[in-house]
Amino acid sequence: MARIVWPVQQSVKSTFQNVGNQTRSETEVFRQDLCKALVAANTPLKKLQNNQFKEFLQKYCNQNISDESTIRKNVHAVYKRVIQETKFSLDNDSF
């Protein structure tokens, strides 16, 4: 079943992408998205130390891939964002 995204949900999602009144940089958004994808896929962040994997990501994502330690700094922020999104989803689901 396709999920409908209402304008209110879009504005909430864009709010999560803002820190205070400052919009996060594209690089920071990419780092958090990469962190979220690796964690969701149960892929250890240490895999970013593999040169072939890192070069593959750089080539096809057109992004500089940060070191594992830099990506690791995003784990807590990703965790908080997933919790907020889950709470929002649960609050807006009617049973």
Residue 19: beta bridge partners?
22
Supply the pLDDT for residue 54.
Answer: 95
Span 3-46, pLDDT tens digits: 555 554 444 455 444 434 345 688 888 998 999 999 889 999 99
Residue 11 in domain: no
Is the separation of the CB atoms in 39 and 78 below 8 Å?
Answer: yes
Tens-digit pLDDT profile for residues 52-68: 999 999 999 999 999 99
Would you say residue 70 lies in a domain?
A: yes
Total tally of structural domains belonging to the chain: 1
Asked if residue 63 is part of any domain, the answer here is: yes
> What residue numbers bound the domain in which 56 lies?
25-92
Q: What are the DSSP E strand ranges found in 2-79? A: 18-19, 22-23
User: Global pTM?
Assistant: 0.61
17 inside domain: no
Establish if 86 belongs to a structural domain.
yes
Alpha-carbon distance of 81 to 31, in angstroms, equals 14
